[in-house]
Amino acid sequence: MSALILTLKQLPLGRLDLSPLMPALVSGDISELAALPLQIATQKIPLGELFSVSGSDASQIVLQGDLSRVDGIGAAMQSGSLNVEGNVGAYLGTGLLGGEIHVQGDVGHFAGVAMRKGTIRIKGNAGDYLGGILPGAMQGMAGGQIIVLGDVGERCGDRMRRGAILIGGKVGDYAGSRMLAGTIAAFGGAGKHAGYGMRRGTLMIRGEIHLDATFADCGEHILPITNLLFRSWVKLGSPFGDAAGKSSPVHRFMGDRGADGKGEILLFK
Amino acid sequence: MNINGVHIEDTFAEAFGMRGTRLLITGENLKWAYHGATALTGFATSVIACGAEAGIERKLDPSETPDGRPGASVLMFATSSKELASQVERRVGQTILTCPTASCFGGLTEGDPIALGKNLRYFGDGWQASKVVNGRRFWRVPVMDGEFVCEETTRMVRAVGGGNFLILTRNSQDALAAAEAAIEAMRKVPNVIMPFPGGVVRSGSKVGSRYKTLPASTNDAFCPTLRGVVKSDLPDEAGCCLEIVIDGLTADDITIAMRVGMQAVCERGRENGVIALSAGNYGGKLGQFHFKLREIMAEGGAQ
């Protein structure tokens, strides 16, 4: 069987919600895919009118075309792989339950929100609320891994509960805000108010950072746990594996003392 | 059967089912990893009074450990899963938690999980934190030199304890030399430990005693100083007997270790005072595992 390839025929005028795709592939027949109604602005249009479909292996899906206005790609995906060749819209991999999503370009806001398992790899940049929380929910990302080679917007990992977000570039303001647990590592610095309101969890930052006064300076230490983390990232390549095996000290700050205060920001080299 | 002048008795070693686990101890350098591992496996020769039988399996290179630091691999065995869990916890708590720079990880990928750092974490008094790396949970407990890192659980498997063989020699010097040669060879075998001092035990026991309170007592049949007064199992020329006890993760591991050890003893041969090889058993009634010396040596190529 060859990979299921969906090619967007033309850039839609409004936002296109592709989130019904994955549930439809799990429960339905692939031959009925063309009839799947998709919401675009105020209208419902069958998938077949928007995408040309080829191949039949739903465990490896390829999305082509200009998807920058397509939201909810890979939402609720459970297994397999999903490759996207360009830029995508918002809510990529929402509530991801397994499998791998690869995006060659940039992704919009809210990528990986409420995800529980699986992996999202983004070659370009990501928008705000990466690995964050859905409106009304108590917890954000609850497992899995998000790897971004470029920069990330604001509120990355908002109310994150578990899992890891690795960022090759810079993470924006309020990184790890209201974080409950998990790990966020940025290899190109962080914006303002990192760890704002974080209760537990770890923010690891290499490069420039502006620390709020609600983080207590615990000094420089060699922490064996960083060996475990860095070594587990070696297979992800540069820059994530660069610090492995060095056993160099990290500067530890605990906070946010305005919240539970058991989170930490580790500055590493 | 006779190898290089050494008589192989037609007998078997009797071994028992145990529960076992492997722990990986790492440290800032090999010295401190070994301080931890040595303390962890101290006073763990026999389950009769130590609660567990434990030993260092081998040295670990930094490339083999979860945190990339040098370390030691330790095997620990006990008679029941409950006892093993209790021994792992109290030993790690008293020897690895306390050992400067040391960390502790589970070293088996299969088996039932038992607590490792799961309860030790409460030493952190609320400052403990966990981190999940590649699906494994590690606890970080603040201590006076930084952090004690300990995996939440280790895996426990059904294992075998009490594999053994007896080295009968002319005198004590010959026995020590033969036993040392055996241990040196057996230390290279994976999945086994020899829990006694230097891997060797001199106080082999028999079941029962003339005293009501003792379930076991000295194996008088192999005591050279009693040769004239008890029914002795020592050949006329033998003036000393030492035993090597082996615990292993599987019966096959014990077989390999016994063969390697006995081959090393036989290589020293009659000219170095080795008279015979025998084994300790209880008539075959107590243990599930019987390791027949002649079969083991024949499979190793001996005639």
Q: What is the 3-state secondary structure (H, E, C) of chain A?
A: CCEEEEEECCCCCCCEECCCHHHHHHHCCHHHHHHCEEEECCEEEEHHHHEEEECCEEEEEEEECCECCEECCCCCCCCCEEEECCCECCCCCCCCCCCEEEECCCCCCCCCCCCCCCEEEECCCECCCCCCCCCCCCCCCEEEEEEECCCECCCCCCCCCEEEEEECCCECCCCCCCCCCCEEEECCCECCCCCCCCCCCEEEECCCCCCCCCCEEEEEECCHHHHHHHHHCHHHCCCCCCCCCCCCCEEEEEECCCCCCCEEEEECC
Longest dimension (CA), chain B: 67
Question: Which residues of chain A have a CB within 8 Å of the CB of B67?
Answer: 224, 227-228, 231
In chain B, what are the domain boundaries? 2-15+160-299, 19-157
Could B129 and A200 be called an inter-chain contact, meaning their C-beta atoms sit closer than 8 Å? yes
Q: Where are the domains of chain A?
A: 1-57, 72-267
CB contact under 8 A, A228 and B138: yes
Distances from the Cα of B171 to the Cαs of A155, B176, B203, B265, in angstroms? 77, 9, 16, 14
Q: What is the CATH number of domain B2-15+160-299?
A: 3.30.70.520
* Displacement of CA B218 from its chain's centroid (Å): 21
Q: Which residues pair with A147 in a beta bridge?
A: A121, A166
Distance CA B250, CA A162 (A): 37
pLDDT for residue B302? 66
Closest B-chain CA to A227:
B67
Residues of chain A above pLDDT 90, percent = 86
Question: Of B62, B129, B147, which has the smallest distance from its Cβ to A224's Cβ?
Answer: B147
Burial of B236 (0-12, 13-18, 19+ CB in 10 A): exposed
Q: Which residue of A has its CA nearest to B26?
A: A224
Instruction: Count CB neighbours of A160 within 10 A.
Output: 33
From chain A, pick out residues whose CB is under 8 angstroms from the CB of B132: 162
The ipTM assigned to this model is 0.92
Radius of gyration (C-alpha) of chain A in whole angstroms? 19
Tokens of A84: 């996207």
By C-alpha distance, the chain B residue nearest A183 is B131
- Do residues B77 and B45 lie in contact, with contact meaning Cβ atoms separated by under 8 Å? no
Euclidean distance between CA atoms B229 and B248, whole angstroms: 37
Number of residue pairs across A and B with CB atoms under 8 Å? 47
Tell me how far apart the alpha carbons of residues B206 and B215 are, in angstroms, rounded to a whole number: 9
Q: Which CATH number does A72-267 carry?
A: 2.160.20.60
Q: Judge whether residue A247 has pLDDT over 80.
A: no
B127 and A225 in contact by Cβ < 8 A?
no
| Chain B residues whose beta carbon lies within 8 Å of the beta carbon of residue A162 | 132
What residues of chain A lie within 8 A of the CB of B127, using their CB? 262
CB B67 to CB A231 under 8 A?
A: yes
Which residues of chain A does B140 touch, with a Cβ-Cβ cutoff of 8 Å?
223, 225
Q: How far is A143 from chain B (nearest CA, A)?
A: 10
Give the nearest partner residue to B69 out of A221, A227, A262, using CB atoms: A227
Residues 210-269, chain A, touching B (beta carbon < 8 A): 221-225, 227-229, 231-232, 244-245, 247, 262, 264
CB contact B133 to A (< 8 Å): yes
Place of tokens 């006064």: A213
Nearest CA in chain A to B66: A228
B51 CB-near residues (< 8 Å, 6+ apart)? B44, B78, B83, B86, B87
CB B286 within 8 A of CB B12: no
Q: Which of A223, A245, A247 sits opposite B147 (nearest CB)?
A: A223
- SS3 state of residue B92: helix
Q: How many Å apart are CA B91 and CA B75, to the nearest integer?
A: 13
Helix (H) or strand (E) holding B267: helix B251-268
pLDDT at residue A56 in the model: 87
**Regarding beta strands A16-17 and A70-71, do their DSSP bridges make them parallel or antiparallel, or are they unpaired?**
parallel
Mutate to test the interface with A, among B32, B69, B125, B132 (most CBs of A within 10 A): B132
Say whether B132 and A162 touch across the interface (CB within 8 A). Answer: yes
B43 part of contact set with chain A, CB < 8 Å? no
Is domain B19-157 in CATH 3.30.70.520, yes or no?
A: yes
Residue B303 confidence (pLDDT): 55
Interface mutation vs chain A, best among B131, B134, B143, most A CBs within 10 Å: B131
Contacts of A245 in chain B (CB under 8 A): 62, 68
Which of B130, B140, B145 should one mutate to test binding to chain A, selecting the residue with the greatest count of A CBs within 10 A?
A: B140
Q: Check A231 against B149: CB less than 8 A apart.
A: no
A4 is written with which tokens? 């299921």
For A262, name the nearest residue in chain B, comparing CA atoms only.
B127
Dist. CA A138–CA B283, nearest whole Å: 65
3-state secondary structure of B190: coil
- Strand, coil or helix: B213: coil
pLDDT at B114: 97
Please tell me if the domain spanning B2-15+160-299 has the same topology as the one spanning B19-157: yes
> Between chains, do A227 and B68 touch, taking CB under 8 Å as contact?
yes
Q: Do B146 and A245 touch (CB under 8 A)?
A: no
Work out the angle at residue A130's Cα, subtended by the Cα atoms of residues B136 and A267, and round it to the nearest 5 degrees.
65
Q: What is the pLDDT of residues A145-201, one digit of tens each?
A: 999 999 999 999 999 999 999 999 999 999 999 999 999 999 999 999 999 999 999
Omega prior to B233 cis, within 30 of 0: no
DSSP reduced 3-state for B111: coil
Which residue's entry shows tokens 């060797």? B200
Q: Are A140 and A133 in contact (CB under 8 A)?
A: yes
Between the alpha carbon of residue A75 and those of residues A97, A250, B162, B301, the distances in Å are 9, 37, 56, 63
Distance (Å, rounded) from C-alpha B142 to C-alpha B88? 20
Interface mutation target, options A200, A225, A247, chain B, most CBs of B under 10 Å: A225
SS3 B133: strand
Give B100: exposed, middle or buried? Use CB within 10 Å, 0-12, 13-18, 19+: middle
Which of the four pLDDT bands, split at 50, 70 and 90, describes residue A141? very high
- Dihedral angle of Cα B53, B56, B62, B68, to the nearest 10 degrees: 20
Is B121 in CB contact (< 8 Å) with chain A?
Answer: no
Three-state DSSP state, B254: helix
pLDDT block averages, 10 residues each, chain B of length 303 = 95 96 97 98 94 97 94 98 97 98 97 97 96 95 97 98 96 97 98 98 92 92 95 94 98 97 97 96 86 92 63
Residues 67-96 of chain B with CB under 8 A from chain A are 67-69
Q: Which of A225, A231, A262 sits opposite B149 (nearest CB)?
A: A225
SS3 call for B247 = strand
Residue type, B116: L
In the prediction, which pLDDT does A12 show?
86
